[in-house]
C-alpha cells in the first residue's frame, strides 16, 4: 500500500491514529427524472414525509443530548430545525415538483443551489459559511428520500474500534446533528473535504476537543474505507497508510500531546500572571448565551466578544427588542459581574432584512457591512442599542462597535447611543449610565489612527482576522492565496503595535479577539508588544494561560522590539520561534 499525505486546514489540534470510516455524500447521488402528472401528488407527499422524518430525527437527537453536551451543538440543531420550518425548504420544492414534474431529490437540490448562491453573495465570512447549514439540512432530507438515513448509525457495527477510539470519520462535510451521533460513538477525529476556520464543522471540532482538519478537497475520494490514517490537527496534515517509522513517531507524539492536555487541567484555577507578577486577562469569545458554560468551565475571566449575529440568522424577521434583551441579559447574569463585551450587529452589505432580497456587490468585504450597515439602518441599530442598554442593568456589559473606519462614524454612533439612552430614560427603564463603549480596530486606516479613536472610546479591541485580510489584500477563504495569510507579516505587527501603544498612551485597555489571541505561538510576542487582554474560543484558554505563566516581561519586551524592527518575514518567524523557548 502506497503512503501519501493530504494537506488541509487544521481547525482543532491534537493527533489521532485510526482506521478511516467513510461517510457517503447523498448530494452526489441525486439524479433528475421526469414524472407523469398522475404521480405528482404522490411525489409531493413523499417529500413532505421526508421533511417530517428529518424533523423527528433532529428532535430526537436534541432531546437525547446529555446535560454536559457542548452548548454549540444544541444551538446548531435548533438552527437546522428552524430551517426545516422555513417555506424556502419546506414548501418551494413542492412547487418545483409540480411545475417541472420532477423527482423530489432534484427539486430540493435545485432550491438548495439557489439559496447557496444567495449566501455566496454575503460579504461577512462567518455568515457566508452558514450556507453549509443549508447544505447539511438538504443532505439529510435527500438521505431520507434515497433511503440512506441509517448510514449515520452504521458505525455501531464497529463497536470494538469505537470503544478504543480508533475510527476516524472521512466525509465531504459533517452537520452538527451528525456530529452528535459521532460524539456518542467516540470517534477519534474527523476530516472533511470542505469547510473553513469559521465553519460549523470547525466550531464543533473545537468545542468537542476532537482533532480535525477541513478543506482537504478530495480526501473522501482518495482514502479507502478501513485504511490506516494519521490526523495531525496541529499542522493540518493527513497521512494515509503511514510507514512503520512514521507511525511509531506519531504514536509517541500522540502520547506526549495527551499528557500535555492532562497537565493543562492542573492550571484551570490558576490566575494568568507572568513570572514577574503582571496580570493577563483571558476572556472568551461566544456566539450564543449557552456558550457561557464552556467559557466559565475553561476559566475565562470575562466575555471579550459576544457575536450577536446568531440572533439575526436563519430568519425572515428581525429579532425585536425584547428577544435581544433576554439573550443579552442571560449572558450578563450568567457572568455574575464579570465583564461582558457585546459586539453590535456585524452583518454584510447584502444581508438584508428580507433574506430573499440580495443586493449585488462587486467587492463584498469592502461594502455596506457592520457599523456602516447599522448607520444606514438606524431603526435596527436603535432596537439593538436599547436592548443592550437594558441588559447593562443586570451585569457588567460593554458595547463594542465593529469595523470603524472614520471618526465621523464613531461620532454618529455615539449620537445614536445617546438617543437610545434618552428613549429609555423617557420610558423610566434603568440601565448603566456609564456603560463603556469600545471600537474594533480591524481596518488598517483605524489602526493608523488608533490614538484618535482611543481618545474618544473607553477601550479598543483588535480584530486580527479582518485586519490581516485587509492589510495583505488576501481573502483567506480563497485556497489559491490562503497560504499568503500570515499574522507575522511586519506590516500587520506594526499596525497591532500602533494600536496597543495608542491605548497605553491614553490609558485605555486594548484586547485582541481574532484568531491570533488563541494561537499559543503568538502569546509571548503579543505580551512583549504590550498586550494585556486576550479573547479567544474557550478551548484555547488553558494553552494560552500556560504561555502566560512562563512569560517574563523584561525578556519579552526586548525580543518584541527586535521583531518589530525587522522587515522580512523570513527573519521574523525564527525569532518568534525563539520567543517561545524563553
Q: Which of the two residues, 539 and 452, has the higher pLDDT score? A: 452
Q: Which of the two residues, 115 and 302, has the higher pLDDT score? A: 302
Using the predicted structure, report yes or no on whether residue 13 has a pLDDT greater than 90.
Answer: no
One DSSP character per residue, 164-200 reads TT-EEEEES---HHHHHHHHHTT-SEEEESS--TTSH
Instruction: Report pLDDT for 73.
Output: 66
Using the predicted structure, report yes or no on whether residue 54 has a pLDDT greater than 50.
Answer: yes
Q: Which of the two residues, 159 and 135, has the higher pLDDT score? A: 135
Tens-place pLDDT, residues 268-313: 999 999 999 999 999 999 888 888 998 999 999 999 999 998 787 6
Residues written for the chain:
582
Tens-place pLDDT, residues 370-423: 999 999 999 999 999 999 999 999 999 999 999 999 999 999 999 999 999 999
- pLDDT band at residue 179 using 50, 70 and 90 as cut-offs: low
Tens-place pLDDT, residues 251-275: 999 999 888 888 898 999 999 999 9
The interaxial angle of helices 176-184 and 40-63, nearest 10 deg, is: 50
One DSSP character per residue, 378-434 reads HHHHHHHHHHHHHHHTTSEEEEEE-S---HHHHHHHHHHHHHHHHHHHHTT----TT
Contact of 284 with 339, CB cutoff 8 Å: no
- pLDDT band at residue 314 using 50, 70 and 90 as cut-offs: low
- pLDDT band at residue 477 using 50, 70 and 90 as cut-offs: low
Q: How far apart are CA 143 and CA 152, in angstroms?
A: 10
- Segment 563-575 mean pLDDT: 95
Instruction: Report pLDDT for 480.
Output: 63
Cell matching residue 115? 439559496
Using the predicted structure, report yes or no on whether residue 150 has a pLDDT greater than 50.
Answer: no
Using the predicted structure, report yes or no on whether residue 45 has a pLDDT greater than 60.
Answer: yes
Contact of 2 with 174, CB cutoff 8 Å: no
Q: Which of 72-76, 165-169, 218-222, 367-371 has the lowest mean pLDDT?
A: 72-76
Instruction: Report pLDDT for 152.
Output: 40
Using the predicted structure, report yes or no on whether residue 153 has a pLDDT greater than 60.
Answer: no
Mean pLDDT (the chain) is 86
* Residues in Cβ contact with 378 at an 8 Å cutoff, skipping those fewer than 6 apart: 416
- pLDDT band at residue 536 using 50, 70 and 90 as cut-offs: very high
Instruction: Report pLDDT for 482.
Output: 63
Q: For the chain, report the end-to-end CA distance as a whole number of angstroms.
A: 43
- Segment 337-359 mean pLDDT: 68
Q: Which of 10-24, 164-178, 392-406, 426-440 has the lowest mean pLDDT?
A: 164-178
Using the predicted structure, report yes or no on whether residue 46 has a pLDDT greater than 90.
Answer: yes
Sole residue written with cell 469595523: 403
- Segment 419-434 mean pLDDT: 98
Q: How far apart are CA 359 and CA 345, in angstroms?
A: 18
* Burial of 66 (C-beta count, 10 Å sphere; 0-12/13-18/19+): exposed
Cell matching residue 517? 489571541
User: With respect to CATH, is domain 260-271+464-582 assigned 3.20.20.60?
Assistant: yes
**What counts of helices (H) and strands (E) characterise the chain?**
25, 16
Using the predicted structure, report yes or no on whether residue 175 has a pLDDT greater than 70.
Answer: no
Q: How far apart are CA 556 and CA 579, in angstroms?
A: 7
Contact of 464 with 443, CB cutoff 8 Å: no
Instruction: Report pLDDT for 366.
Output: 81
Distances (CA, A) of 206 to 12, 502, 511, 565: 5, 33, 22, 35
Using the predicted structure, report yes or no on whether residue 4 has a pLDDT greater than 70.
Answer: yes
Cell matching residue 575? 525569532
Q: How far apart are CA 520 and CA 431, in angstroms?
A: 38
Instruction: Report pLDDT for 125.
Output: 66
Instruction: Report pLDDT for 133.
Output: 80
Q: Any bridge partners for residue 167, and if so which?
A: 19
Contact of 107 with 213, CB cutoff 8 Å: no
Locate the DSSP E strands across 77-186: 167-171
Cell matching residue 576? 518568534
Q: Which of 310-314, 417-421, 490-494, 565-569 has the lowest mean pLDDT?
A: 310-314
Using the predicted structure, report yes or no on whether residue 174 has a pLDDT greater than 60.
Answer: yes
Instruction: Cite the active site residues.
Output: 200, 513
Amino acid at each position: 500500500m502506497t503512503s501519501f499525505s493530504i494537506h488541509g486546514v487544521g481547525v482543532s489540534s491534537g493527533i489521532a491514529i485510526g482506521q478511516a470510516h467513510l461517510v457517503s455524500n447523498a448530494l452526489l447521488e441525486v439524479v433528475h427524472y421526469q414524472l407523469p402528472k398522475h404521480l405528482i401528488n404522490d411525489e409531493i407527499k413523499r417529500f413532505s414525509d421526508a421533511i417530517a422524518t428529518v424533523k423527528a430525527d433532529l428532535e430526537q437527537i436534541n432531546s437525547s443530548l446529555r446535560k454536559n453536551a457542548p452548548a454549540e451543538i444544541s444551538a446548531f440543531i435548533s438552527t437546522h430545525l428552524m430551517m426545516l420550518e422555513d417555506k424556502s425548504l419546506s414548501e418551494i420544492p413542492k412547487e418545483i415538483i409540480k411545475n417541472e414534474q420532477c423527482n423530489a431529490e432534484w427539486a430540493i437540490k435545485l432550491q438548495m443551489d439557489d439559496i447557496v448562491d444567495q449566501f455566496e453573495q454575503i460579504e461577512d465570512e462567518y455568515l457566508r459559511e452558514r450556507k453549509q447549514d443549508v447544505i447539511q439540512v438538504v443532505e439529510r432530507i435527500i438521505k431520507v428520500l434515497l433511503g440512506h438515513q441509517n448510514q449515520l448509525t452504521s458505525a455501531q457495527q464497529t463497536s470494538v474500534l469505537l470503544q478504543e477510539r480508533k475510527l476516524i470519520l472521512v466525509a465531504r462535510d459533517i452537520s452538527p446533528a451528525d456530529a452528535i451521533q459521532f460524539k456518542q460513538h467516540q470517534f477519534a477525529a474527523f476530516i472533511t473535504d470542505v469547510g473553513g476556520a469559521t465553519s460549523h464543522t470547525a466550531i464543533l471540532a473545537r468545542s468537542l476537543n476532537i482533532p480535525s482538519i477541513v478543506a482537504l478537497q478530495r480526501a473522501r475520494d482518495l482514502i479507502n474505507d478501513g485504511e490506516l490514517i494519521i490526523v495531525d490537527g496541529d499542522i493540518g496534515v493527513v497521512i494515509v497508510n503511514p510507514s512503520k517509522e512514521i507511525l511509531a513517531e506519531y504514536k509517541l507524539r500522540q502520547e506526549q500531546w495527551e499528557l500535555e492536555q492532562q497537565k493543562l487541567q492542573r492550571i484551570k484555577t490558576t490566575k494568568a500572571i507572568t513570572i514577574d507578577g503582571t496580570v493577563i486577562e483571558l476572556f472568551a469569545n461566544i456566539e450564543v448565551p449557552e456558550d457561557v458554560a464552556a467559557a466559565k468551565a475553561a476559566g475565562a475571566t470575562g466575555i471579550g466578544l459576544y457575536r450577536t449575529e446568531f440572533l439575526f440568522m436563519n430568519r425572515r424577521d428581525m429579532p425585536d427588542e425584547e428577544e435581544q434583551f433576554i439573550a443579552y441579559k442571560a449572558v450578563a447574569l450568567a457572568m455574575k459581574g464579570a465583564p461582558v463585551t457585546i459586539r453590535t450587529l456585524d452583518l454584510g452589505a447584502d444581508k438584508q432584512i428580507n433574506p430573499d432580497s440580495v443586493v449585488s456587490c462587486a467587492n463584498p468585504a469592502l461594502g455596506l457591512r457592520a457599523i456602516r450597515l447599522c448607520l444606514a439602518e438606524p431603526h435596527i441599530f436603535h432596537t439593538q442599542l436599547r436592548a443592550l442598554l437594558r441588559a447593562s442593568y443586570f451585569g457588567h456589559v460593554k458595547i463594542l462597535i465593529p469595523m470603524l473606519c472614520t471618526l465621523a462614524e464613531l461620532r454618529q454612533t455615539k449620537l445614536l447611543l445617546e438617543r437610545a439612552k434618552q428613549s429609555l430614560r423617557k420610558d423610566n427603564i434603568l440601565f448603566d449610565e456609564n456603560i463603556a463603549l469600545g471600537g474594533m480596530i480591524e481596518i488598517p486606516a483605524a489602526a493608523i489612527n488608533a490614538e484618535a479613536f482611543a481618545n474618544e472610546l473607553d477601550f479598543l479591541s483588535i480584530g486580527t482576522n479582518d485586519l490581516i485580510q485587509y492589510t495583505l489584500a488576501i481573502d483567506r477563504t480563497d485556497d489559491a492565496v490562503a497560504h499568503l495569510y500570515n499574522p507575522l507579516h511586519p506590516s500587520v505587527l506594526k499596525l497591532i503595535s500602533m494600536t496597543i501603544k495608542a491605548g497605553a498612551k491614553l490609558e485605555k485597555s486594548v484586547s485582541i479577539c481574532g484568531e491570533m489571541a488563541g494561537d499559543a505561538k503568538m502569546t509571548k510576542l503579543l505580551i512583549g508588544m504590550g498586550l494585556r487582554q486576550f479573547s479567544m474560543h474557550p478551548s484555547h484558554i488553558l494553552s494560552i494561560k500556560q504561555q502566560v505563566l512562563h512569560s517574563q516581561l523584561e525578556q519579552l519586551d526586548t525580543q518584541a522590539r527586535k521583531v518589530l524592527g525587522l522587515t522580512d518575514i523570513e527573519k521574523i518567524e525564527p525569532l518568534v520561534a525563539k520567543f517561545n523557548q524563553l
